Amino acid sequence: MNELLKVTNLKTYFYTLAGTVQAVRGIDFSLNKGEALGIVGESGCGKTVTGLSIMRLISFPPGKIVDGRIEFNNTNILNLNEKEITTIRGDKISMIFQDPMSSLNPVLTIGDQMMEPLIVHKNYSTSKAWNRALELLDLVKIKGGSNMLKRYPHEFSGGMRQRVMIAMALSCVPQIIIADEPTTSLDVTVQAQILELLKDIRGKIETSIILITHNLAVVAGLCDRVLVFYAGKIVEEAFIDDLYSSPLHPYTVGLLKAVPRLNISSEEKLKTIPGLPPDLISPPNGCSFHPRCDYAMKICAREEPPFFNFNNSRRTACWLYYGKRDLNS
Amino acid sequence: MEKEILTVKNLKKYFYFYSGSFFKKKKIAIKAVDNVNFSINKGETLGVVGETGCGKTTLGRTIVKLYEPDNGEIILKGINITKLNDLEMKPIRKIIQMIFQDPYLSLDARMTAGEIIAEPMKIHKLYENEKELNDRVNELLGLVGLNEEHKIRYPHEFSGGQRQRIGIARSLAVNPEIIICDEPVSALDVSIQAQIINLFEDLQEKFGLTYIFISHDLSMVKHISTKVAVMYLGKIIELADSLDLYKNPIHPYTKALISAVPLPDPKLERKRKRIILPKDIGEESSISAGCRFIGRCNISKEICKETEPPLIDKGCSHFVACHLL
């Protein structure tokens, strides 16, 4: 196993006036070299906070990583000080943010912003960084060369800005790229371009990707393995083919049935998941999904389900699978 | 049953802005809606799809006359409402209502849910006394899956899905026959989207409502619509029955659009060949004399540069605007 990143029992809380929001409530997962891992879930399930925690971008106050370990190349990055983490952040682990409109600095040219990580992390000279920026533009398929580097973000369309963000994230050839909803604010045809680009880059550069998204279809095209998040916890983990062909957790099942499919026409109504996701200031006892679950049993309200492991590194946190060793039986 | 409730003919809405230096100002028109024609029968759902900036929202807003149309006709139940002023429009607004995209911005933060739902009925003076009005508000809350306790709460106390339900209750308050839904679920989570879509379908069955469903989500539009119009830079480029359109898309843009939608199925995703369009929709600002899609089209010929293709019936009321097909 080429384990690159290992997250153990991560807990990230936010201290607000209304109470403590338990955004991430103890999650474990690992990421291998060259792998693309998808994190899916709805708003407020803790998927973005997980990404920010790995980047050590949780600001205190109000947020704090209260427990757990994040091991990157066998060092716990939670023990590093601010100076040490800067040698990792943006260099070995980089992030692509959701909103390309607000994550670029409007008063600096595209070139300045693309050169910055190279100058900071790699000690490149300005001219060397400029040349590298040109290469990167080429990699993300923006035509126009140095002319483009002299432009400002407002002169670029949404899709082009997201390409610039991807180029910046790639600039230091990171070992991990965390892409947080990279296509959510883009149009479908542009989304297709960006997804195609990410696939293309995966083939060219040996890098692991963590793709955070609410869109199950986006994950299907790009990832090898998926984690399903609900209310700050992982409820299911599987390789993508397994997850989409035979989802285990009732939440995953519901989520897959709730989206209409373009390739299947049916007159049937969409299946809904009743109710709302829980308030993470006071999450429900037992399984956090039990108030919305069709299969809830008595134990679900009382005790939190542990992970039940199956072959092909599948696991799910649901009492329905208690005592089952093999999924085929 | 086949009864036309709304007909739109040659509808145009341009927005103007000025560009250039102080002395050489040039008036530039953004043709947000340019010569749009369609009609809907009672009880149907017309889906309008397209990317950002294609004019789908402007089309919706122009039909309810939130924007004054520049040209063309809007005929609602046999009445030409194009030239009506605000006062004359008031009774018409009982027939046609609108639901907005953002449930966070479309509700007045200083009114309770009850007041928001009651307001259109007060404006149209539908009920004589408070009690009747109150009963009606309770009934509407029930219809959209909320209850009486919610009446005294303010919008910020609700979740996004619940707010959208309040918006739906408000639009239903005056018993409209046609509702324009402008991206009503795009701000909501997947599991909540399905709840709201099912609510729309239930209400349509119950009251025989007609919807114009504006959205960028092709799978959702396919699910809910009977007819679908695809818009590109202010024009309808393809219009057909929902099943027909998704099965046999004709226009190269519609083909690309459908192939760009990711499917929640990894096996199909690996097999699928995507048609990737070059450029973004926003990159071609000036529209030339010819076809609007020319800059991104992979099959364009000489004729596309010169004349604009009209929207022609290619059989079985499948309308397409393309010279080559």
Q: Would you call A192 and B259 a contact, using CB atoms and an 8 Å cutoff?
A: yes
Q: Which residues pair with A234 in a beta bridge?
A: A229
The C-alpha atoms of residue B47 and residue B242 are separated, in whole angstroms, by 8
B/e letters for B49-86, b = 16+ CB within 10 Å, e = fewer, are bbbbbbbbbbbbbbbbbebebbebebbbbeeebbebee
Mind listing the pLDDT tens digit for each residue in B68-89? 999 999 999 999 999 999 899 9
Average pLDDT over residues B317-324: 89
High-pLDDT (> 70) share of chain B, %: 96
- R_g of chain A, CA atoms, integer Å: 21
Amino acid at B136: R
Q: Would you call A270 and B223 a contact, using CB atoms and an 8 Å cutoff?
A: yes
Q: Tell which phi-psi region holds residue B10, choosing left (phi > 0), alpha (psi between -120 and 50) or beta.
A: left
- Please provide the DSSP assignment of B258-289 as one string: HHHSPPS-HHHHHHPPP-PPSS-GGG--S--S
**E-strand spans in A219-272?**
225-230, 233-239
**Residue holding tokens 């099943």?**
B243
Could you tell me if B188 lies within 8 Å of chain A, comparing CB atoms?
A: no
Could you tell me if B318 lies within 8 Å of chain A, comparing CB atoms?
A: no
Looking at residue A68, the DSSP 8-state letter turns out to be E
Instruction: Kindly report each contact of residues A98-104 with a partner whose C-beta sits within 8 Å and lies 24 or more positions away, as own/partner.
Output: A98/A48, A98/A180, A98/A181, A98/A182, A98/A184, A98/A185, A99/A185, A100/A158, A100/A161, A100/A162, A100/A164, A100/A165, A100/A185, A100/A186, A101/A158, A101/A161, A101/A185, A103/A165, A104/A153, A104/A161, A104/A164, A104/A165
Q: Tell which phi-psi region holds residue B314, choosing left (phi > 0), alpha (psi between -120 and 50) or beta.
A: alpha
Chain B residues within an 8 Å CB radius of A263: 263, 265, 268
The C-alpha atoms of residue A208 and residue A204 are separated, in whole angstroms, by 12
Looking at residue B174, the DSSP 8-state letter turns out to be T
Mind listing the pLDDT tens digit for each residue in B110-128? 999 999 999 999 999 988 8
Q: Tell which phi-psi region holds residue A90, choosing left (phi > 0), alpha (psi between -120 and 50) or beta.
A: left
Taking the CA of residue A216 and the nearest CA in chain B, the distance in Å comes to 6
- The tokens for B263 are 């499917």
Looking at residue B299, the DSSP 8-state letter turns out to be S
The C-alpha atoms of residue B185 and residue A170 are separated, in whole angstroms, by 34
The answer to whether A114 and A140 are in contact (CB under 8 A) is no
Nearest residue on chain B to A216, judged by CA atoms?
B264
Confidence of residue B145 (pLDDT cuts 50, 70, 90): confident
Q: Would you call A262 and B222 a contact, using CB atoms and an 8 Å cutoff?
A: yes
Residue B303 is predicted with a pLDDT of 86
Residue A266 is predicted with a pLDDT of 67
Spatial CA neighbour of A136 closest among A70, A191, A88, A197: A197
Mind listing the pLDDT tens digit for each residue in B187-233? 888 888 888 999 999 999 999 999 999 998 898 999 999 999 999 98
Mind listing the pLDDT tens digit for each residue in B156-166? 988 888 899 99
Residue A329 is predicted with a pLDDT of 44
User: Which residues of A have a CB under 8 Å from any CB of B?
Assistant: 42-43, 157-160, 187-193, 195-196, 214-218, 220-221, 240-241, 244-245, 254-256, 258-263, 265, 269-274, 276-277
Confidence of residue B291 (pLDDT cuts 50, 70, 90): confident
Confidence of residue B282 (pLDDT cuts 50, 70, 90): low
Q: How far apart are the first and last CA of chain B?
A: 33
Global confidence as pTM: 0.86
- Stated as kind and residue range, the H or E segment containing B139 is helix B130-143
Residue B179 is predicted with a pLDDT of 95
- Please provide the DSSP assignment of B177-199 as one string: SEEEEESTTTTS-HHHHHHHHHH
Residue B135 is predicted with a pLDDT of 92
The C-alpha atoms of residue A229 and residue A97 are separated, in whole angstroms, by 19
The answer to whether B242 and B317 are in contact (CB under 8 A) is no
pLDDT, block means (10 residues), chain A with 329 residues = 88 91 93 92 89 90 90 91 90 88 89 92 92 90 86 87 90 91 84 86 86 90 93 94 92 89 76 86 91 91 92 89 70
The C-alpha atoms of residue A151 and residue A268 are separated, in whole angstroms, by 50
Spatial CA neighbour of B40 closest among B32, B50, B31, B48: B48
Interface confidence, given as ipTM, is 0.81
A42: CB partners within 8 A, 6+ apart? A214, A230, A277, B189, B190, B191
Ordered alpha helix ranges (H), A44-157: 47-54, 82-86, 110-122, 126-139, 146-149
Within 13 Å, how many C-alpha atoms sit on residue A68's CB side?
23
Taking the CA of residue A304 and the nearest CA in chain B, the distance in Å comes to 23
Judged against a pLDDT cut of 70, whether residue B2 lies above it is answered with no
Of B192, B223, B265, the CB nearest to A260: B223
The C-alpha atoms of residue B285 and residue B279 are separated, in whole angstroms, by 12
Judged against a pLDDT cut of 60, whether residue B1 lies above it is answered with no
Within 13 Å, how many C-alpha atoms sit on residue B38's CB side?
30
Q: Would you call A188 and B261 a contact, using CB atoms and an 8 Å cutoff?
A: yes
